[in-house]
Amino acid sequence: MSKNSRSKYLFKNTVIFALGNFSTKLIAFFLVPFYTYVLTTEEYGVINLIFTLATLIGPFLMVNLQDAVRRFALESNADHKAILSIEWGVIIVGHLFGLLLIPLAKMYAPISSYSLELYFYIVSLSANTIFLEYLRGIEKMKAYSICSVLSSLIIAVLNIFFLTRMQLGVSGYFLAYIIAFTFSSLIAIIIGKQYTVFREWKWDKTLFRNMIKFSIPMIPNSLLWWVSSSSDHIMVTHFINAAANGIYTVSYKIPTLISTVSNIFMQAWQISAIKENDSKDNDDFSNIMFDGYIRFITLFTGFLLVIIKPFMYIYVNPSFVEAWKYTPFLIIGYAFSTLGTFVGTPYYVYKDMKGNMFSASSGAIINVILNVILIPTLGIQGAAIATCFSYIVVFIYRVFDTRKYVILNFKKKEYVAFLSGILILSALCYVDIQWKIFIMLIIYAYLIVLNKKLIGTLYRSLKQRKMEKKNLS
């Protein structure tokens, strides 16, 4: 594939995923103010706690099969009947084992009243994820995006109905998700013809072993990543209370925009990275993408730091406003997290799940240690600092470890300038001085000037594609 062709392929898939993912996350983002007005800080904390536990338990129930389904379905010689047989087998068995969650959840005080909600949420989410990943594996990107958008719309509509008209509280919140995931799964099954496996069941033991061999090492990786990204919520609940976790949860909403935007590109990039793995100029192509990626993340991160404090005052209920204090550290942490995801792409391409696991473990260990030390002394801010540093550690680890696959060229002077600008902006968030906003805007303008080349490239690319569409019409 030529440079121009593969760039177009990457751009096309990025746009498709953008339409799906960004629409999905945008709906969720604008629902947050609604949630902060109809739910108490304690209820919001309980909801997040269930989300956190689901993120932990899901990979164990379904042996983290979604990544293996996508990865093996992408191969040119893929046996789709066998893949679907394995997919359905794991989903059915996972649902049965998941029943054990109901009595176990009743024993954990913070969520004892919501054991059924936890079970149905986890199994519906896990199954839906696998069904949708198969669509990505057969390169039905539009269908994947459509399912994601429909699911989000259903969640939004039903949550408004269940929380306001029915006043079902936490139970209503999860009921909306369960219904939406079930509907999305049905659509994915129909579009991807995943039901055809029941006409001809094909159990390939060798393929099953290979898929399990790929996915099993990712379970500890998922566990370790959960420790880095989610265990702080449990620790905040433990060391402080559920209400504090509710506020901490809101502080995550702005930073996660970075991962939302990043994932749009990363979903497309992983597919392109696999397809271009054997090309002679793979390193050059990866470096071009990385340089553009780090520049974009810098600009987006800087923008969020400039607006975070004033935006939070109009975004949420006053009882949640203090969440802005914990956001700057999380913004920086998520910026490094997304960069670490890009740098870690070779693990996925070369099926090096051990490397992925070891890199994630470094962040997990740092996160736990710092949370135990900092939360009792600094409160919620301690959790934010721990998360930030754990993501930085993972990024640094992967930069050095993945050099055996792809050598990334770091433009040290420019990248140091980017980091300096971001750190100054984050520090200014906590300082009350005259003309603070003006100073922050000047610094951000400096970052824009440093990245004018990227902005120019994006502008020319969009202009070119408009011209191409015009000529075709």
Tokens of 109: 């005080």
Are 229 and 196 found together in one domain? Answer: no
Are 287 and 148 found together in one domain? Answer: no
Q: For residue 464, what pLDDT is reported? A: 63
Neighbours of 452 (CB within 10 A): 10
Cα–Cα dist 285/69, whole Å = 26
391 and 337 in contact (C-beta within 8 Å)? Answer: yes
Report which of 449, 83, 29, 12 is spatially closest to residue 259, judged by C-alpha positions. Answer: 29
Flag whether 237 is in a domain.
yes
Are 383 and 356 found together in one domain? Answer: yes
Q: What is the span of the domain harbouring residue 98?
A: 65-215
Are 225 and 202 found together in one domain? Answer: no
Q: Give the 3-state secondary structure of residue 192.
A: coil
Are 248 and 157 found together in one domain? Answer: no
Are 227 and 365 found together in one domain? Answer: yes
Are 5 and 91 found together in one domain? Answer: no
422 and 367 in contact (C-beta within 8 Å)? Answer: no
357 and 217 in contact (C-beta within 8 Å)? Answer: yes
Flag whether 151 is in a domain.
yes
Flag whether 317 is in a domain.
yes
pLDDT (tens digit per residue) in 387-438: 999 999 999 999 998 888 888 888 888 889 999 999 999 999 998 888 899 9
Q: For residue 290, what pLDDT is reported? A: 82
Are 147 and 190 found together in one domain? Answer: yes
Residue at token pair 């890199």: 359
Neighbours of 310 (CB within 10 A): 11
54 and 116 in contact (C-beta within 8 Å)? Answer: no
Cα–Cα dist 297/342, whole Å = 11
Residue at token pair 């700057």: 328
Flag whether 56 is in a domain.
no
Flag whether 140 is in a domain.
yes
Are 71 and 197 found together in one domain? Answer: yes
The DSSP result for 261-330, as a single string, is: HHHHHHHHHHHHHHHTTT-TTHHHHHHHHHHHHHHHHHHHHHHHHHHHHHHHHHHS-GGGGGGGGGHHHH
Are 308 and 397 found together in one domain? Answer: yes
Q: Helices 169-191 and 41-61: crossing angle, nearest 10°?
A: 40
Alpha helices in 344-433, H assignment, sequence order:
345-349, 353-378, 380-401, 412-428
Choosing from 197, 215, 233, the residue where a domain stops is: 215
Cα–Cα dist 36/320, whole Å = 7
Report which of 18, 1, 464, 4 is spatially closest to residue 268, judged by C-alpha positions. Answer: 18
Domain count along the chain: 2
Tokens of 414: 């420019």
Residues of the chain short of pLDDT 50, as ranges, are 1-2
Single-letter amino acid code for the residue at 393 = V
Q: Helices 218-229 and 41-61: crossing angle, nearest 10°?
A: 170
Are 203 and 276 found together in one domain? Answer: no
The DSSP result for 90-131, as a single string, is: HHHHHHHHHTTHHHHHHTSGGGGGGHHHHHHHHHHHHHHHHH
Flag whether 29 is in a domain.
no
Choosing from 196, 215, 234, the residue where a domain stops is: 215
300, exposed or middle or buried, with CB in 10 Å at 0-12, 13-18, 19+? middle
16, exposed or middle or buried, with CB in 10 Å at 0-12, 13-18, 19+? buried
Cα–Cα dist 216/63, whole Å = 6
Cα–Cα dist 150/256, whole Å = 21
Flag whether 27 is in a domain.
no
Are 189 and 293 found together in one domain? Answer: no
Choosing from 171, 193, 215, the residue where a domain stops is: 215
Q: Give the 3-state secondary structure of residue 75.
A: coil
Q: 220 φ, ψ to 5°?
A: -60, -35
Flag whether 312 is in a domain.
yes
